[in-house]
Amino acid sequence: MEFKSPTNHGSPITLRLLVQIGDIIVFRHRGDVQIGMLQGVSGKKNKVATGSNRILEIPSDRVIQETGIRAVDLSALMDVRQRIEELADSLDLKEVWEVLKDEPVEYSVQDIAEFYWGDDIGSERHAAMLLHLSRPRLYFDENDTAFMPRSSEQIQEVLERQARQQAVQAEEADFIRWILDESEHDYGFFTTRQKHWLQRIQQYAISGDEYEQSNQARALLKEIKGEGSGDLQRFAFNLMVRKKIWDEDEHLDLILFDIPIEFPPEILDEAVQMLPV
């Protein structure tokens, strides 16, 4: 097997290793970087085990690191993978970024690993750094086979975007907690976004899949409902009844067409005067 690995400032070198069955490799699959154990090679495809009864066929050009670590069985693979994943999650590259940010050039995984650990790297540390850099992170951008430090302005943009995403997630979590709590009926404190979610559920309860935002409504209802989908339109209606927003015999057409059922006294008086004597 042959693959290219970046070296100093993005210049690739070609590594040739004698890869055997049982060797642990790092590869790309469906946009993610994963760790697996080589089970066989057929042409340009590698059979890679990633778990019990899970074998993937990975093209050779998707293999990005041959670790040189051999696993005797799946249990050994799981142990190695867990160590690498935990190490990858624990990495904080802020100090490395501080050193490299003023030199806008490309760096290899090996470069950044050496800045972080010095010369004592090893296969597991290299794989952990590769996983860390290849997933959405704060300090470096991936550029093909190398990584470039982001500018301070880019870092700030990422932090602001993350803050907005976290705010939306918090709003959604609060909304779902509220809607599942049958003792809570007041929603005067809702944010604009939460009011929109409530309206979306109501519109889906009325119109079902004919509602123009039915896909978004179904996704929200599935998240609220949890296991199993069932009749989501009925579920949406029942939610509104449990929250005492609607009655069990609510006339949905009146809501759909915004037909009023309550009128001010002067209108009622005028209507009475129009009745035949």
Per-residue pLDDT of the chain (277 residues), as tens digits, is: 333 333 443 333 333 345 788 999 999 998 888 999 999 888 888 899 998 788 899 998 899 888 889 888 899 999 999 999 999 999 999 999 999 998 879 999 999 999 999 988 899 999 999 999 988 889 999 887 799 999 999 999 999 999 999 999 999 999 999 999 989 899 999 999 999 999 999 999 988 898 999 999 999 999 998 876 678 999 998 999 999 888 876 656 545 545 454 546 665 455 556 666 5
The angle at the Cα of 261, spanning 256 to 262, to the nearest 5 degrees, equals 135
Q: Which residue has the tokens 């609510």?
A: 250
Count of helices and strands (H, E) across the chain:
10, 9
- The two most distant CA atoms of the chain are separated, in Å, by 103
pLDDT digit string (tens) for 164-198? 999 999 999 999 999 999 898 999 999 999 999 99
Report the C-alpha gap between 213 and 48 in whole angstroms. Answer: 41
Q: How far is CA 114 from the centre of its chain?
A: 30
Segment holding 193, helix H or strand E: helix 192-207
pLDDT value at residue 1? 33
Beta bridge partners of residue 48, listed in sequence order: 38, 56
Beta bridge partners of residue 23, listed in sequence order: 70
pLDDT value at residue 268? 46
SS3 per residue for 135-157? CCCCCEEEECCEEEECCHHHHHH
Pairing of strands 54-59, 63-70: unpaired
Crossing angle for the helix pair 74-90 and 122-134, to the nearest 10 degrees: 60
127 Ramachandran zone, left/alpha/beta (phi>0; psi -120 to 50):
alpha
Model-wide pTM > 0.75: no
